[in-house]
């Protein structure tokens, strides 16, 4: 999906919500576990209930791989279901891949040719030739880890060089030379609060994928205050807060309700910024 | 596999060779493409021809994922084949994973419980809680990226703080507090040559997984000179130089020959160090 289409979807729906499709078999509602393919059944129900309020879905690969073949099939079927029924949704394979050039190329083929998703999350540690093989696919995106939402983000991402530049700033500045804001986004955790100001100094125009609202404790208002651009420039992800909103028969209705709440907050923030 | 068993295997075989099982369907010999399951047939033939000379195998996940379901099945079957027929081989899932805690835990389950390999390569960018979920499995290992073999390793891994400490040194020093040398190894590319001296200052006792000999241009002698410990402390990987040694009917024989050559060089280096 081109950037222009993504921005239009955000305006039309009054939402920059991304729903994380991270189904853990140990947490699925009883009523779903009785189905033939519980993961797929769960995902379809969540998607049907939330699609009206969202512009993106983000399956995290770990949750599918951990179930072996069955999980891999469920992932492929979920992507197919999204593409067939909700073609305006931006699909992110949250894979955090990154390897030497010829190997990253295999991953790029996997996600952009076989699975045909819109974006893949990529880890920056191995540098340019681990990232660039994901570029150059029309309308496809790299979403590079910059400043993550977890506690461990403080272990290495804040390491500072002699000029006072931190690792995450190096990652953004250097990778901005490899790819335009039409094909690269950055992961910046909602838990980083005011750090969004610093991020916007080095990535003024890039979309940011923002995990960490909800279960991880990040604030949507703060993210919007410091991170929103004139084209919004944000995709805020919520996983557990939406998909496990209820554990009963009404799990999908509850998910829809939580997604709607977030969408309503987002619409206010978009209005305040005169984007809608 | 416990460290003691790994060291014994190295002594018994006079080898610290790891063969990278990275089958690219576009490069497989004609004679294999005619088989029902070409990837699995190729892997089995390579394993049978090289097992005598090796102590470890390292399938890189990208090569399997890029083939979708079929590839995933081939990977599982390859691991099963190794475990059934060559139980003394150390199996490394080269996955370069790393995600927030609850997600890394799903990956750990995938590789250590479902697939039951000995080790997984992990990317350090997201810090402690992305790595520690892989620890604590008996006889299982994290192999953390430190100083990689590719050109892009120079983009971020050498970023230096005020005290002159480089990112890869931070990664080793910090992660050494999370795990003992019985459960964590580091990836250090053979192309880094004399850098092994610096690595041994911060990781004197850890095993190092060393890619980059052969196709990528690293020197085995240099790696051994600067990197070998009294227990060897090295697993040197070769992928393309072995598995694509010939493109004809004799592809397996040629692979065996290349593996034997490397084993013979390794035996000399182990003798010179009085390890065997």
DSSP B103-124: HHHHHHIIIIIIS--SEEEE--
Three-state SS string over B4-46 comes to HHHHHHHHHHCCCEEEEECCCHHHCCHHHHCCCCHHHHHHHHH
Tell me whether residues A155 and B128 touch, CB distance under 8 A.
yes
Give yes or no for B155 touching A (CB within 8 A): yes
Tell me whether residues A170 and B148 touch, CB distance under 8 A.
no
Contact A19, A38 (CB under 8 A): no
Provide the 3-class DSSP secondary structure of residue B179.
coil
Spatial separation of the C-alpha atoms in residues B95 and B121, rounded to whole Å: 6
Give pLDDT, residue B63: 95
Contact B205, B181 (CB under 8 A): yes
Provide the 3-class DSSP secondary structure of residue A262.
helix
A219-231: burial string, b at 16+ Cβ within 10 Å, e else: ebebbbbbbbbeb
Instruction: State the DSSP string of A123-168.
Output: --TT-HHHHGGG-SSTT-EEEEEEE-SSTTHHHHTT-BBTTS-BHH
- pLDDT grade for B216, boundaries at 50, 70 and 90: confident
Instruction: Indicate if the alpha-carbon torsion angle B270, B273, B275, B276 is positive or negative.
Output: positive
Closest-CA residue to A185 (of A121, A107, A231, A104): A121
Tell me the residues of chain B between 212 and 251 that have a Cβ less than 8 Å away from chain A: 216
Give yes or no for B153 touching A (CB within 8 A): yes
Give pLDDT, residue A245: 96
Spatial separation of the C-alpha atoms in residues A179 and A192, rounded to whole Å: 24
Give pLDDT, residue A218: 84
Give yes or no for B124 touching A (CB within 8 A): yes
User: CA-nearest residue of chain B to A187?
Assistant: B126
Task: Choose, out of A61, A71, A155, the residue to mutate when testing the contact with B (most B CBs < 10 Å).
Answer: A155
Give yes or no for B148 touching A (CB within 8 A): yes
The two three-digit tokens of residue A240, written as one number: 């557990």
Contact B229, B20 (CB under 8 A): no
Q: Pick the catalytic residue: B27, B35, B58, B96?
A: B96
User: CA-nearest residue of chain B to A112?
Assistant: B66
Task: Choose, out of B110, B126, B134, the residue to mutate when testing the contact with A (most A CBs < 10 Å).
Answer: B126
The two three-digit tokens of residue B229, written as one number: 């410990």
Mean pLDDT split into 10-residue runs, chain A, 276 residues: 98 98 94 95 98 98 90 95 98 96 93 96 98 96 96 97 96 98 97 91 98 84 96 97 96 98 98 97
Question: Residue A84 to residues A141, B223, B249: CA-CA distances in angstroms?
Answer: 20, 52, 44
Residue with tokens 């053979």: B190
Closest-CA residue to B120 (of B97, B90, B148): B97
The two three-digit tokens of residue B248, written as one number: 């004809």
User: Nearest 5°: CA angle at B178, between B172 and B182?
Assistant: 85
Shortest CB distance from A128 goes to which of B98, B155, B167?
B155
* Long-range CB contact pairs, B153-159, < 8 A, 24+: B153/A126, B153/A127, B153/B189, B153/B192, B154/A127, B155/A124, B155/A127, B155/A128, B155/A174, B156/A124, B156/A125, B156/A127, B156/A167, B156/A170, B156/A171, B156/A174, B157/A125, B157/A127, B159/A159, B159/A161, B159/A167, B159/A170
Give pLDDT, residue A214: 76
Tell me whether residues A152 and B160 touch, CB distance under 8 A.
no
The whole model's pTM is what? Answer: 0.96
The two three-digit tokens of residue A105, written as one number: 């190329």
B203-232: burial string, b at 16+ Cβ within 10 Å, e else: beebbbbbbbbbebebebebbbbbbbbebb
Residues of A in contact with B101 (CB under 8 A): 150, 152
Q: Is A96 a known active-site residue?
A: yes
Which residues sit opposite B2 in a β-bridge? none
Give pLDDT, residue B186: 98
Report the complex ipTM. 0.95
Task: Choose, out of B145, B150, B210, the residue to mutate when testing the contact with A (most A CBs < 10 Å).
Answer: B150
Query: Which ranges of B34-183 would DSSP assign to H, the alpha helix?
Result: 38-50, 61-65, 68-85, 101-108, 128-131, 153-156, 167-176
Shortest CB distance from B127 goes to which of A76, A97, A154?
A154
Tell me whether residues A174 and B156 touch, CB distance under 8 A.
yes
Give pLDDT, residue B69: 85
Give pLDDT, residue A50: 98
Tell me whether residues B152 and A129 touch, CB distance under 8 A.
yes
Give pLDDT, residue A18: 98
Give yes or no for B159 touching A (CB within 8 A): yes
- pLDDT grade for B222, boundaries at 50, 70 and 90: very high
Shortest CB distance from A153 goes to which of B69, B126, B216?
B126
Shortest CB distance from B150 goes to which of A126, A150, A161?
A126
Give yes or no for B164 touching A (CB within 8 A): no
Give pLDDT, residue B221: 94
Q: What would the pLDDT profile of B127-155 be if each residue is shown by its tens digit?
A: 999 999 999 999 999 999 999 999 999 99
Shortest CB distance from A125 goes to which of B66, B76, B123?
B123
Residue with tokens 């196709």: B215
How close does chain A come to B9, measured CA to CA in Å?
29
Give yes or no for B22 touching A (CB within 8 A): yes
């Amino acid at each position: 999906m081109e950037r222009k289409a993504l921005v239009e979807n955000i305006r039309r729906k009054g939402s920059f919500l991304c729903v994380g499709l991270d189904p853990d078999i140990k947490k699925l509602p009883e009523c779903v576990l009785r189905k033939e393919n519980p993961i797929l059944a769960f995902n379809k129900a969540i998607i049907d209930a939330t699609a009206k309020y969202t512009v993106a879905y983000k399956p995290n690969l770990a949750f599918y791989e951990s179930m072996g073949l069955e999980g891999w099939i469920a992932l492929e079927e979920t992507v197919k279901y999204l593409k067939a029924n909700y073609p305006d949704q931006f699909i992110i394979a949250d894979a955090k891949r990154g390897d030497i050039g010829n190997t990253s190329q295999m991953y790029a083929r996997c996600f952009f040719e076989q699975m045909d998703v819109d974006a893949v999350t990529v880890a920056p540690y191995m540098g340019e030739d681990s990232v660039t093989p994901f570029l150059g696919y029309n309308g496809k995106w790299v979403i590079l880890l910059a400043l993550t939402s977890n506690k461990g983000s403080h272990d290495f991402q804040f390491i500072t060089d002699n000029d006072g530049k931190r690792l995450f700033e190096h990652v953004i500045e250097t990778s901005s030379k490899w790819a335009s804001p039409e094909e690269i986004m950055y992961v910046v955790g909602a838990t980083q609060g005011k750090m969004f100001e610093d991020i916007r100094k080095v990535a003024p125009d890039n979309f940011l994928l923002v995990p960490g609202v909800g279960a991880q404790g990040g604030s949507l208002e703060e993210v919007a205050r410091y991170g929103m651009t004139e084209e919004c420039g944000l995709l805020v992800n919520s996983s557990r807060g939406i998909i496990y909103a209820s554990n009963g028969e009404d799990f999908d209705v509850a998910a829809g309700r939580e997604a709607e709440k977030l969408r309503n907050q987002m619409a206010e923030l978009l209005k305040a910024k005169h984007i809608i």
